[in-house]
């Protein structure tokens, strides 16, 4: 199957892509979906909203799709602040470092 998808880049105008050039993403919020690609003309990442009809058409022609987990928009309570803030990159890196250390296993094993 030799499918081509025609869309527009805000910088380059009309572009023709293959299904494997695109990424189709559905967010954790209802009816939130988009597709994106790296434009070969200008090198920028282009992102466009994908209504249900667009989602279905792109899925049918074999564009790979991903579901964004709800944890991405999960909010946490900061002990020092009264407001809520999203989980940030530093929070994720701290969690990875914590899980890589073996020190957290001792208290769990001790009960």
pLDDT at 77: 44
pLDDT at 87: 77
| C-beta separation of 37 from 67 below 8 A | no
Give the SS3 label for residue 54: helix
- Digit-coded pLDDT (tens) for 85-96: 677 888 888 888
pLDDT at 2: 82
pLDDT at 92: 86
- Digit-coded pLDDT (tens) for 42-67: 999 999 999 989 999 999 999 999 98
Q: Which residue matches tokens 């954790």?
A: 28
- Digit-coded pLDDT (tens) for 24-42: 999 888 788 999 999 988 9
Percent of all residues in the chain with a pLDDT value above 90, rounded to a whole number? 47
| Rounded to 5°, angle at Cα 23 from 53 and 37 | 105
Give the SS3 label for residue 64: coil
pLDDT at 105: 66
- Domain range list for the chain: 5-69, 71-110
What is the CATH topology of the domain spanning 5-69? N-terminal domain of TfIIb (2.20.25)
| C-beta separation of 63 from 35 below 8 A | yes
d(CA 28, CA 22): 20
DSSP per residue over 33-45, as a string? Answer: EEEEEE-TTT--E
Entry pTM: 0.61
| C-beta separation of 87 from 75 below 8 A | yes
| C-beta separation of 24 from 17 below 8 A | no
């Amino acid at each position: 199957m030799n499918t081509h998808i025609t869309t527009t880049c805000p910088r380059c105008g009309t572009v023709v892509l293959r299904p494997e050039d695109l990424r189709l993403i559905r967010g954790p919020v209802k009816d939130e979906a988009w597709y994106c690609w790296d434009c070969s003309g200008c090198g920028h990442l282009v992102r466009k909203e994908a209504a249900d009809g667009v989602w279905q058409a792109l899925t049918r022609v074999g564009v790979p799709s991903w579901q964004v987990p709800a944890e991405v928009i999960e909010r946490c309570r900061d002990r020092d602040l009264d407001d809520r803030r999203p989980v940030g990159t530093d929070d994720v890196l701290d969690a990875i470092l914590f899980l890589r250390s073996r020190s957290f296993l001792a208290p769990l094993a001790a009960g």
